[in-house]
Amino acid sequence: MYYFLCHLSLMDLCYTSAVVPRLIRDLAAARKNISYNNCMTQLFTAHLLAGVEICILVSMAFDRYVAIVKPLHYVAIMSRQRCNMLVVLAWAVGFWHSVALLLMVLSLPFCGPNQIDHYLCDVKPLLKLVCKDIHVVSILVTANSGMVVVVIFLVLVVSYILILCNLRTRSSAGRRKALSTCSSHIMVVALFFVPCIYTHVLRAGAENRDKGISVFYTVIAPMLNPLICTLRNMEMNVAMRKVWSQVAHSDLKQIK
């Protein structure tokens, strides 16, 4: 669990670093412009890191499923080699996803004012600047991003339904411990996937509030993930209490 939490925290840090600095710069600057190369770089980086983060959330769900449903086989199933394989697979899927979107966008002809109504160089706002019919391209974007997100979200929902069904046969103490561990992951998944599904499932030409909704999975969710995972984890709470008690004890000694 902590192995995947470490990678999730790293992805949150990298993902927000690809979005937030540019957002802060645009809020402070009079001219909110970005070059074509920088825009394509941000597009590739944001989708790469988001794809990796989604796959890590799936790996975390699989890890919780094995720990709760098959606890006696946990060490054998979730070996370090398999955990490393899941992380490598996450990077491979994220890279494939971002490269496919980037190659599709690079092949499109852009015209017009070259102004996007968004704080992020994402595919949907860029498609509004294309000089040809985007019906087919919009379907491909929805299939690449929207449907993949929906399928992964359904897989996560099914995994937690199976976990909850398995918990009916456990003791009350075991249910509380399992639910305490899973509840943080469920909140993280909901914060990231619900706005992400809303943004990427609608077609590119549809009128929606995707710019405001995108703030949830680009800024708010990565910011809250470490806090949620820390406060909802019993071991982390115990460790934090020990640290604070040691700090308070040392402060009292200094005062005396």
Task: Evaluate whether 197 touches 150 at the Cβ level (below 8 Å).
Answer: yes
pTM: 0.79
Question: Which residues have CB under 8 Å from 90's CB, separation 6+?
Answer: 7, 51, 52, 55, 56, 59
pLDDT band at 87 (very low <50, low <70, confident <90, very high): very high
Task: Evaluate whether 71 touches 36 at the Cβ level (below 8 Å).
Answer: no
Q: Report the percentage of the chain scoring pLDDT > 70.
A: 84
Domains of the chain, earliest start first: 2-251 (1.20.1070.10)
- CB count within 10 Å of CB 58 equals 21
More confident residue, 80 or 2: 80
Average pLDDT value for residue range 11-25: 85
More confident residue, 41 or 147: 41
What tens digit of pLDDT does each residue of 172-194 get? 766 676 676 677 777 778 888 88
